[in-house]
Amino acid sequence: MNFGFTPEQELLRDQVRRFLDDNCALPEVRRIMKSAQGYEQGHWQQMAELGWLGLIINESDGGVGLNWVDLVVVLEEMGRSLYPGPYLSTLCFTAALIDITDSHTQKTLLPGIAEGKIKGSLALLDRPGDPHVDNISLEAITTGEGVFLSGSKPFVHDCGSADYFLVAYRQAQDFYLALLDANDPSLERSHSATMDFTKRTGKLTFDNLDISNAPRFKVSEHQINRLFDIGAVGVAAEMIGAAEAVLAITTTYAQDRIQFGHAIGKYQGVKHRLAEMYVDIESFKSLVYYAAWTITDSAEELSRSASLAKAFASDAFAAIGIDAVQLHGAIGFTQEYDIQLYLKRSKWSRASFGNADFHYEKIIEQKQNSQGI
């Protein structure tokens, strides 16, 4: 029994930490997040060389052959630094390639991902809403001339930088994912930063787009749900590091800022809130670690564990983001001060792959279905 990390995983954490501290400290994050591209190609290439882009890709496909528990370590540290770049989206795309596509597709794309040459993103939902198959309504029309998609996919993560998309649609009673080349001129895409400038989204628009030449994969509802759950775990892993950064920044501030003759951290209105933040972060950290473990080692538990983790983290981090700004006083409201960047991240994270309402409902619904209560 070992619910902790191996020495190798701790080394990986140190490596990621050092890389981000050296190359992507917050002033640099601020520069990158305001750039047109939204990420730094040089970092991407270095990350490929360090093996982080192929962490969950098998060695035979050019990767490192590790699993999601190792990834959590990387994501946690990226969250702590608010790393701006398409890492998480490419990761979700990679996970889908591995889960769903055929070996030919995998051989074509996975080595390129590991080398940093290919980035990808999932385009699953076609209307604002929960990560639920009901929100996939795009319907393929088959005629004598081809298979056509007309419609759009809003809020596609890192839509502007992706080289490929896996686009979900329906045909008859079934769900499919089509692998589309982002550079296909007939594929319309827009992109922009969100309120959290370190996270980009965009919209794919299909105007009678013929996908008959694109690789297409039939997927079960269960497989799509698994992708949603994996995404939720990925986001939640970033939330751990980000929330810990908030706590560290705010604790330091509370030790330094003097009012009424004492450091404000002496006052219980301040110190107790910080203690509560610690309690919540410790707790969703445990939930996320376990959920990450279930992705490869206990797949039947993933749905529940991912939802418990994402639900707890979403509520907790949102409140932590707000209260941390409040505990800073007016300086927390300024662009110059970093804490607000994390507040914005908390809102992005909450919205991404399902908020607490959705995940708590999912837990109860599945329990009712399985236990007949």
Partner 1 sequence: MDFEYTQSEQNFRSEVRQFLDENLPAATDKGPVFMKHWLKKVREKRWVGFSWPKSVGGGGGNIMEQVILKEEMSARKAPPLGTCMMGLAWVGPGIIQYGTEEQKERFLPDILDSKYHWCTGYSEPNVGSDLAALQCKATRDRDEYIINGTKIWTSLAPFASWISMLVRTDNFGETDNKHDGITALLVDLSTQGIDIKPIENMAGGKVFAQIFFDNVRVPIKNRLGEEGNGWAVTISSLANERSSIGEVAGLYTKLEKLTDLLSTSKWNGQAAITDKKIRRTLGRFEAKIEAMRLNGLRYLTKQIKGEPLSSETSVNKLHRAELEVEMGDFAVEKLGEAGLQLRNQEDAVRTGYWATDSLNWPTVVIGGGTPNIQKNIIAERILGLPKD
- Least separation in angstroms between CB 3 and partner 1: 4
- Region from 94-102, 115-123, 177-185, 266-274 binding partner 1, contact rule CB under 8 A: 266-274
* Closest to partner 1 by CB, 211 or 264: 264
25, 26, 275, 322: which one binds partner 1 (CB under 8 A): 275
* Closest to partner 1 by CB, 165 or 293: 293
46, 190, 283, 326: which one binds partner 1 (CB under 8 A): 283
> Are 156 and 203 a contacting pair, CB within 8 Å?
yes
CA-based nearest residue to 39, from 242, 186, 191: 191
The reply on whether position 282 binds partner 1 by CB under 8 A is yes
The reply on whether position 257 binds partner 1 by CB under 8 A is no
CA-based nearest residue to 29, from 318, 288, 344: 344
Q: Residue holding tokens 């990925």? A: 234
The reply on whether position 259 binds partner 1 by CB under 8 A is no
* Closest to partner 1 by CB, 196 or 315: 315
The reply on whether position 301 binds partner 1 by CB under 8 A is no
Q: How far apart are CA 324 and CA 322, in angstroms?
A: 6
253, 284, 342, 348: which one binds partner 1 (CB under 8 A): 284
> Are 264 and 255 a contacting pair, CB within 8 Å?
no
Neighbours of 284 (CB within 10 A): 24
- Least separation in angstroms between CB 274 and partner 1: 6
Structure tokens at 340: 């607000």
Q: How far apart are CA 234 and CA 161, in angstroms?
A: 19
Q: Residue holding tokens 């993103």? A: 121
Question: Total residues at the site for partner 1 (CB under 8 A)?
Answer: 49
> In whole angstroms, how far apart are CA 240 and each of 80, 213, 236?
8, 41, 7
* Closest to partner 1 by CB, 153 or 359: 359
Q: How far apart are CA 347 and CA 88, in angstroms?
A: 16
- Least separation in angstroms between CB 235 and partner 1: 16
Handedness of CA 59, 63, 69, 73 (dihedral sign): positive
Q: Name the 3-class secondary structure at 170.
A: strand
- Least separation in angstroms between CB 314 and partner 1: 10
The reply on whether position 4 binds partner 1 by CB under 8 A is yes
> Are 359 and 311 a contacting pair, CB within 8 Å?
yes
Residue 233, Cβ density class (10 Å: 0-12 exposed, 13-18 middle, ≥19 buried)? buried
Interacting residues with partner 1 between 233 and 252 (CB under 8 A) = 247, 251
- Least separation in angstroms between CB 81 and partner 1: 21
* Closest to partner 1 by CB, 158 or 315: 315
Contact string (CB under 8 A) for partner 1, positions 53-92, x = contact: ----------------x-----------------------
Question: H or E stretch including 154?
Answer: strand 146-157
Which region, left, alpha or beta, applies to residue 189 given φ > 0 means left and ψ of -120 to 50 means alpha?
A: beta
271, 326, 337, 338: which one binds partner 1 (CB under 8 A): 271
- Region from 133-141, 219-227, 237-245, 363-371 binding partner 1, contact rule CB under 8 A: 363-371
Q: How far apart are CA 111 and CA 109, in angstroms?
A: 6
The reply on whether position 258 binds partner 1 by CB under 8 A is no
Binding site for partner 1 (CB under 8 A): 1-6, 69, 247, 251, 254-255, 262-263, 265-266, 268, 270-272, 274-276, 278-279, 282-284, 286-287, 289-290, 293, 297, 307-308, 311-312, 315, 356-357, 359-361, 363-365, 367-368, 373
